[in-house]
């Protein structure tokens, strides 16, 4: 359980609230950079009190006074996932701060979960940034009815932020009955019935559950669900599924990008641009050797976060994502930095015999394209398994209610094979087959990734 928030922390959060909420709307790119340089300098001084960072910086011959702003960030060493694993617990927070922080685990989607620490101030700061993002869509945190679909389990980020963090703190002052928290792996028919009764104005969740809500709506469930918009986060939502959700519910779908370690990174505006929370987050892309890449080139994500007195994340590569940054400024009026594309996890990429890499976002579009083309939602779940450079299986669980609707399963599978063949080329031995169960990762029954590669993808990216 999260400790009771102290009065001085609450006072600081209250003082930060309005400036944080409005900063991106009020500041131009020059003022955002000036603010970021200021908080970055302060955060580097804090990081120097954390044993992992102090050792890394001393070994690199770096002192906090050497860092004057974000332009000096390349002087700092990269922090890898293994650094957190090898230094937990004592090496990830300043000595003597154990009572002011709580531990958090990542979801484990990039192998075994990583443990780190967050403090009370950082927890509330994260929520403020989420509120700022949702405010763009007309959301009011204390009045709008919102259903949230996430992993609300012990020690996960969403649990720390909402269930045991903010909610017990705010409950004495606000009812918070406008929030409905739902676990992503709950029974979907039960979930849609609960959402139907709640009648939310906004629904936020992972792409998988959102897609299944649309499928169930088309089967006659959830007739009272009429949100103003959907917010998708925690995974890739392909353009065909996004369009299907929007047409099914008559509401637009916006994408948010973030992770347990980073908190909120970017959000989609009404123009379709992905805005980075540039006052709190800085992103770089590098190649496999750690060399910085220019904007417009896809590379490994390097994340820096500027808030929180738990475990710092400065030049952190452990999220394992591939992204492409974009140059320029959006027409919507916000002068933040932009993400052009989130390709997905490195480990969920496919490597072809000629060493060409197919990123997860390209793979994710295929099932939706085929279902859209043949006008039938036959797929319940799908998984791509790469057994070797030249052997790939596509495993499909068919939705029994749709098996005989529209094109036959054989026609459907032939079209899937055609589309994947176009991606993979003729040198790959490709099999598309129906299954009743997907392959779990490393024997974990609770882990069935959409893309499972049995080769070391990192050698090729």
User: What is the rounded average pLDDT of the residues 255-269?
Assistant: 94
Of 79-88, 100-109, 135-144, 157-166, the range with the highest mean pLDDT is: 79-88
> C-alpha distances in angstroms, 363 versus 31, 66, 369, 455?
39, 44, 11, 17
**How many Cα atoms within 13 Å fall on the side-chain side of residue 283?**
33
pLDDT tops 70 at residue 287: yes
User: What is the rounded average pLDDT of the residues 237-243?
Assistant: 91
Neighbour count for residue 4 (Cβ, 10 Å): 9
Structure-token match 């259903």, residue found? 147
In DSSP terms, which residues pair with 284 in a beta bridge?
302
- DSSP E strand stretches across 184-280: 202-205, 229-232, 252-259, 263-268, 274-276
d(CA 191, CA 72): 48
Q: Of 411, 380, 385, whose CA–CA distance to 396 is shortest?
A: 380
**Whole-number percent of the chain with pLDDT over 70:** 91
pLDDT tops 80 at residue 386: yes
d(CA 270, CA 221): 29
Residue-wise pLDDT tens digits, 18-54:
999 999 999 999 999 999 999 999 999 999 999 999 9
Residue-wise pLDDT tens digits, 58-97:
999 999 999 999 999 999 999 999 999 999 999 999 999 9
Choose between 98 and 190: higher pLDDT: 190
pLDDT of residue 445: 47
What would the two tokens of residue 403 be?
């098996």
Domains (range + CATH), the chain: 7-346 (3.40.50.12780), 349-459 (3.30.300.30)
User: What is the rounded average pLDDT of the residues 106-121?
Assistant: 78
**Whole-number percent of the chain with pLDDT over 90:** 74
Helix or strand run (H / E) with residue 195: helix 188-198
């Amino acid at each position: 359980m999260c400790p009771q928030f102290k009065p001085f922390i609450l006072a600081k959060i209250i003082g930060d609230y309005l400036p944080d909420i409005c900063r991106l709307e009020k500041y131009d790119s020059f003022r955002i950079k000036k603010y970021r340089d200021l908080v970055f300098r302060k955060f580097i001084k804090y990081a120097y009190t954390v044993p992992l960072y102090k050792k890394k910086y001393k070994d690199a011959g770096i002192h906090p006074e050497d860092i004057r702003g974000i332009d000096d960030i390349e002087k700092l060493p990269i922090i890898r996932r293994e650094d957190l694993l090898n230094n937990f617990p004592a090496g990830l927070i300043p000595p003597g701060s154990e009572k002011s922080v709580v531990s958090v685990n990542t979801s484990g989607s990039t192998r075994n979960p990583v443990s780190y620490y967050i403090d009370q101030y950082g927890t509330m700061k994260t929520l403020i940034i989420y509120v700022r993002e949702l405010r763009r869509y007309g959301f009011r945190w204390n009045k709008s009815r919102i259903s949230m679909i996430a992993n609300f389990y012990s020690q996960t980020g969403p649990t720390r932020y909402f269930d045991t963090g903010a909610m017990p703190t705010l409950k004495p002052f606000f009812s918070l009955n406008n929030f409905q928290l739902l676990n992503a792996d709950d029974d979907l028919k039960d979930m849609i019935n609960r959402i139907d009764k709640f009648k939310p104005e906004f629904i936020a969740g992972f792409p998988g559950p959102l897609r299944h809500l649309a499928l169930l709506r088309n089967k006659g469930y959830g007739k009272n669900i009429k949100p103003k918009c959907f917010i998708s986060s925690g995974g890739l939502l392909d353009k065909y599924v996004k369009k299907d959700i929007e047409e099914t519910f008559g509401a637009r779908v916006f994408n948010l990008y973030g992770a347990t370690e980073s908190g909120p990174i970017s959000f989609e505006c009404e123009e379709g641009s992905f805005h980075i929370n540039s006052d709190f987050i800085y992103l770089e892309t590098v190649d496999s050797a750690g060399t910085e890449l220019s904007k417009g080139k896809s590379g490994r994500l390097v994340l820096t976060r500027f808030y929180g007195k738990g475990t710092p994340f400065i030049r952190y590569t452990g999220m394992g994502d591939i992204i492409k940054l974009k140059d320029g400024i959006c027409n919507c009026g916000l002068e933040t930095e932009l993400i052009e594309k989130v390709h997905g996890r490195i480990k969920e990429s496919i490597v072809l015999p000629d060493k060409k890499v197919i990123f997860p976002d390209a793979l994710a579009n295929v099932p939706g394209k085929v279902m859209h083309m043949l006008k039938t939602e036959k797929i319940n779940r799908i998984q791509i398994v790469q057994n070797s450079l030249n052997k790939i299986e596509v495993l499909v669980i068919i939705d029994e209610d749709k098996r005989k609707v529209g094109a036959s399963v054989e026609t459907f599978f032939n079209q899937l094979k055609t589309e994947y063949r176009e991606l993979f080329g003729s040198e790959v031995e490709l099999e598309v087959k129906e299954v009743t169960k997907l392959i779990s990762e490393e024997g974990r029954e609770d882990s069935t990734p959409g893309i499972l590669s049995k080769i070391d993808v990192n050698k090729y990216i």
